[in-house]
C-alpha cells in the first residue's frame, strides 16, 4: 500500500511542560494515512502526553497539529469525530457488562438502534467476547479488557486510532492477538498511532518509528533506517566466573552491562573476519569463554545508539 498524499497527522513544534518539567520539547511529526506510526520510548519519555495532546485531552503549550485534516486547537470536535483512543488512560466502564459498554459507545456515536446493535454483535464476535458479553467488565482479565477497550474504540469507525501502550501488561498470547488486530485495521485503511516501550512491537508493526527520549525526538525513520544508524551488531560473551569476566572486560575494553550477570556485550558486525579477530584476542589473553552468541543489530542497539544510554528497564519479549 502506498500512503496517499494527505498525511493523517501532522505536528509542528509541539511543546508541553508541567510546571518546570518540560515533557515534550519541540516535536515535529508526520504520519501518512493507512500506516502504523510508532512512538518508541521508555517510561516517562512523554509518550502518553503526546497521545493526550493529539487526542484533544490536554492542550499543548505551543505548536500546531492537524489530525485527520483538522486543526487540533480550532476544531477539536472534528478531530474527536475522526479518532479513537485506546490506552493507559482510556478505559472501560467497570460496572457495565462488555455488551453494555459497547452499546454505550454506539449510543454516544448516535448510531441508529438497529445498526448499533448489529455493530456491537459484530465487535463482540470479532474480539472473542461473545461468551463474556453479559459479565461486567470488572470481572475481565487484562487481555479481555484490552480487547473490549479496542472494540469500544472501533464502534465509531475511526479513521485514526491512538493506541497508548496497547500490550503493556498482556501475556504473550493476548499480545499476539492485539498485534493481529492492528494488522487487520491497517489493511482496512485505518491509520495507527502506536506508543510502545517494546522494541519488538515497533519493529513488528510500524511503518515508521520515532524514538522519544526525555521529551525529545532523537531519531525517526523505518525500522531498517534506524537499524542502519548502528554500524553493527554485537557479540555476547558469557563467563564461568567473575575473574574471567573482568579480564575479558579489561582485554576488550568493554564494560559489563549488569553486575549480576557474568556477561559482556562487545560491538561486532558479525562478519567471519571480525569474529575471528575477537576470538583470537581472547585466546591470546587465555580467557575462558563459556558461551558465545552473535546478535545482528536490533532496535535495542538503536535505542542505545541514539539516546546514549541503555533503556531504563529490561523488557521480556515473548
Partner 1 sequence: MSTRSYAAADSATMLRRNLRHALRYPSMTVSVVGMPIIMLLLFVDVFGGAMSVSLASASTHGATYIDYVVPGILVMTVGSGSMPTAVAVCTDMAEGIVARLRTMAISRASILTGHVVGAMIQTMLSVGLVIAVSLLLGFRPTADPAEWIAAITVLALFALALTWLAVALGLVTKTPEAASNVVMPLFLLPFISSAFVPLATMPSEVRWFAEYQPFTSIIDTLRGLLSGAPIGNSAVIAIAWCIAIALAGYLWARSVFDRGPVR
Q: Interface residues for partner 1 in 187-226 (CB under 8 A)?
A: none
Across-strand partners of 48?
none
Q: Of 35, 56, 191, 196, which lies in the binding site for partner 1, with binding defined by CB under 8 A?
A: 56
| C-alpha distance from residue 250 to each of 202, 265, 285, 286 (Å) | 35, 13, 10, 13
Q: Of 12, 17, 57, 133, which lies in the binding site for partner 1, with binding defined by CB under 8 A?
A: 57
CB 270 within 8 A of CB 292: no
74 or 110: whose CB is closer to partner 1? 110
Q: Of 1, 4, 6, 58, which lies in the binding site for partner 1, with binding defined by CB under 8 A?
A: 58
**Site mask for partner 1 (CB under 8 A), range 26-55, x = bound:** --------------------------x--x
Interface with partner 1: number of residues (CB under 8 A): 31
Q: Interface residues for partner 1 in 63-102 (CB under 8 A)?
A: 77-78, 80-81, 83-85, 89-96, 100
- Of the candidate spans 31-39, 56-64, 198-206, 256-264, the one that interacts with partner 1 by CB under 8 A turns out to be 56-64
CB of 258 to partner 1, least distance (A): 35
Q: Interface residues for partner 1 in 11-30 (CB under 8 A)?
A: 18
* DSSP character at residue 22: E
What is the Cα Rg of the chain in Å? 23
The burial of 287, by beta-carbon neighbours within 10 Å (0-12 exposed, 13-18 middle, 19 or more buried), is given as buried
Q: Interface residues for partner 1 in 148-177 (CB under 8 A)?
A: 152, 156
CB 74 within 8 A of CB 80: no
CB of 178 to partner 1, least distance (A): 18
Across-strand partners of 208?
37
* DSSP character at residue 300: H
CB 194 within 8 A of CB 29: no
Rounded Cα distance between 6 and 66, Å, is: 11
CB of 221 to partner 1, least distance (A): 29
CB of 32 to partner 1, least distance (A): 22
CB 147 within 8 A of CB 137: no
* Contact footprint for partner 1 (CB under 8 A): 18, 52, 55-59, 77-78, 80-81, 83-85, 89-96, 100, 104, 107-110, 136, 152, 156
Amino acid at each position: 500500500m502506498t500512503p496517499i498524499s494527505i498525511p493523517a497527522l501532522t505536528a509542528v513544534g509541539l511543546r508541553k511542560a508541567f510546571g518546570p518539567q518540560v515533557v515534550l520539547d519541540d516535536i515535529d511529526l508526520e504520519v501518512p494515512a493507512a500506516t502504523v506510526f510508532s512512538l518508541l520510548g521508555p517510561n516517562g519519555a512523554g509518550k502518553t502526553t503526546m497521545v493526550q495532546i493529539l487526542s484533544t485531552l490536554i492542550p499543548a503549550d505551543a505548536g500546531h497539529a492537524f489530525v485527520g485534516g483538522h486543526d487540533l486547537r480550532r476544531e477539536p470536535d472534528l478531530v474527536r469525530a475522526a479518532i479513537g483512543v485506546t490506552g493507559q488512560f482510556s478505559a472501560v466502564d467497570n460496572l457495565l457488562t462488555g455488551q453494555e459498554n459497547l452499546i454505550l459507545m454506539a449510543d454516544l456515536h448516535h448510531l441508529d438502534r438497529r445498526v448499533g446493535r448489529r455493530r456491537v454483535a459484530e465487535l463482540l464476535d470479532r474480539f472473542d467476547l461473545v461468551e463474556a458479553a453479559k459479565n461486567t467488565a470488572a470481572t475481565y482479565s487484562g487481555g479481555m479488557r484490552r480487547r473490549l477497550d479496542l472494540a469500544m474504540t472501533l464502534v465509531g469507525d475511526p479513521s485514526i486510532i491512538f493506541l497508548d501502550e496497547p500490550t503493556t501488561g498482556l501475556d504473550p498470547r493476548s499480545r499476539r492477538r492485539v498485534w493481529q488486530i492492528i494488522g487487520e485495521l491497517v489493511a482496512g485503511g485505518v491509520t495507527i498511532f502506536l506508543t510502545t516501550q517494546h522494541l519488538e512491537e515497533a519493529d513488528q508493526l510500524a511503518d515508521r518509528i520515532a524514538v522519544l527520549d526525555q521529551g525529545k525526538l532523537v531519531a525517526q525513520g523505518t525500522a531498517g533506517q534506524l537499524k542502519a544508524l548502528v554500524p553493527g551488531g554485537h557479540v555476547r560473551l558469557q563467563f564461568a566466573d567473575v575473574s574471567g569476566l573482568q579480564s575479558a572486560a579489561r582485554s576488550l575494553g568493554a564494560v559489563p552491562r549488569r553486575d549480576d550477570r557474568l556477561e559482556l556485550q562487545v560491538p561486532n558486525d558479525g562478519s567471519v573476519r571480525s569474529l575471528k579477530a575477537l576470538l583470537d584476542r581472547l585466546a591470546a589473553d587465555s580467557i575462558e569463554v563459556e558461551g558465545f552468541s552473535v546478535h545482528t543489530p536490533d532496535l535495542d542497539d538503536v535505542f542505545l545508539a541514539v539516546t546514549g544510554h541503555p533503556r531504563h528497564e529490561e523488557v521480556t519479549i515473548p
